[in-house]
């Protein structure tokens, strides 16, 4: 999303948030179904990331009379943890829960349903039957969750037992298979066919469909091999998240790729991977703790003898988009 779009979406969201609401949000749990609720929350968080990082700008079609900024702000009204530009909790964040009870809408059994004002809590909520939800494949789970949020946002309002899926029908085109299925900020894939996925993991090693193909001494030849395989039609490079952790070491999707003596070359390697489409740099909170040591997330990245050097490294990481304060 460009700067103007982000500001417009945030302003629209802030206006929506200011409409009075009778009860603050408090997350509650239904009857059992921990795996169901964990997956619902994962999809919610991934939807929030996709919405705030320009995902819909990659070709999503919205209904007549709805702008992309309006779509994003309306969806985020029920997803975001905090009100934009503040640390105040968002009272409209939908409560997610799973239940063993069967769910019906006008006599028709459903996997999930949304409530603008849940009779149990007085807040917006989405509830799913955990047995039906857990038996649904991950692509369909994303479709269902997006539809429930779009229903709350009045973008896909329910018409009795019938449902409209004007936007949700497009969502699976943006999914990419990683360690888990999640939305990526990429152009949608309309026909995945039977293409295999490939990426870099430990070493750096080239992996095809989760299997180690070849190990390399350096990131560059590993990237070249990956691109050779993709150009030959053997596989599709699937962008995953990457960051810098202990060492500093470059991590791709939680897997240690290469260790460096200094933050500068580690950042260079990270940017090389991102430019090649192997991964997307995922910003994490960063700070200075014991030593002084620079921490990215909960991971000690590098130790320094002096605070000024640690601050310089922190700024390098922030400028590169590796972390945020």
How is 233-282 classified by DSSP, letter by letter? TSEEE--EEEEEETTTEEEETTEEEEE-SSHHHHHHHHHHHHHTTSEEE-
Residue 223: what pLDDT?
A: 86
**Global pTM?**
0.50
Q: Which residues contact 234 (CB under 8 A, 6 or more apart)?
A: 196, 198, 208
Residue 16 to residues 12, 90, 124, 212, Cα–Cα distance (Å): 6, 11, 14, 49
From the list 68, 95, 94, the residue with the least C-alpha distance to 12 is 68
Q: Please tell me whether the peptide bond between 204 and the residue prior to it is cis, using omega within 30 degrees of 0.
A: yes
311: three-class secondary structure by DSSP: helix
Q: List, for the chain, all residue ranges whose pLDDT scores fall below the cut of 70.
A: 1-32, 159-163, 178-181, 188-195, 203, 207-210, 238, 247, 253-254, 282, 291, 297, 324-325
Across the beta sheet with 205-208, the strand order is 211-215, 205-208, 196-201, 235-237
Identify the pLDDT of residue 24: 36
Look at strands 196-201 and 205-208 and give their pairing: antiparallel
| Structural contact between residues 50 and 146, judged by C-beta atoms closer than 8 angstroms | no
Q: Are 133 and 98 in contact (CB under 8 A)?
A: yes
Residue (of 180, 221, 222, 225) closest to 202 by Cα position: 222
CA dihedral 153, 155, 158, 162 (to 10 degrees): -150
How many H helices and E strands in the chain? 8, 19
pLDDT (tens digit per residue) in 287-310: 877 767 777 767 777 777 778 877
């Amino acid at each position: 999303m460009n700067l103007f779009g982000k500001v417009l979406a945030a302003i629209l969201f802030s206006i929506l948030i200011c409409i009075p609401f009778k009860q603050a949000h408090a997350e509650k749990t239904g009857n059992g179904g921990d795996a169901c609720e964990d997956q619902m929350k994962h999809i919610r968080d991934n939807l929030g990331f996709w919405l705030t990082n320009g995902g819909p700008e990659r070709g999503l079609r919205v209904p007549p009379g709805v702008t992309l900024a309006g779509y994003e702000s309306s969806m985020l009204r029920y997803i975001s943890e905090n009100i934009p530009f503040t640390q105040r909790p968002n009272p409209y964040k939908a409560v997610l829960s799973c239940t063993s009870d069967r769910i019906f809408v006008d006599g028709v059994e459903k996997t999930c349903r949304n409530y603008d004002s849940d009779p149990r809590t007085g807040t917006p909520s989405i509830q799913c039957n955990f047995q039906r939800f857990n038996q649904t494949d991950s692509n369909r789970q994303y479709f269902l969750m997006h539809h429930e949020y779009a229903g709350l946002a009045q973008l896909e309002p329910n018409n009795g037992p019938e449902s409209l899926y004007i936007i949700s029908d497009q969502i699976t085109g943006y999914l990419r298979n990683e360690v888990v299925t999640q939305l990526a900020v990429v152009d949608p894939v309309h026909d995945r066919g039977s293409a295999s996925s490939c990426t870099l993991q430990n070493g750096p090693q080239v992996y095809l469909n989760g299997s180690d193909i070849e190990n390399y001494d350096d990131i560059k030849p590993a990237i070249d091999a990956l691109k050779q395989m993709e150009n030959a039609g053997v596989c599709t490079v699937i962008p995953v998240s990457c960051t810098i952790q202990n060492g500093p070491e470059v991590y791709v999707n939680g897997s240690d790729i290469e260790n460096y003596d200094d933050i500068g070359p580690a950042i260079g390697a990270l940017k090389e991977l991102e430019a090649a489409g192997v991964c997307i740099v995922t910003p994490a909170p960063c700070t200075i703790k014991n030593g002084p040591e620079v921490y990215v997330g909960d991971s000690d990245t590098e130790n320094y003898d002096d605070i000024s050097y640690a601050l310089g490294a922190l700024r390098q990481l922030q400028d590169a988009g590796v972390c945020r304060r």
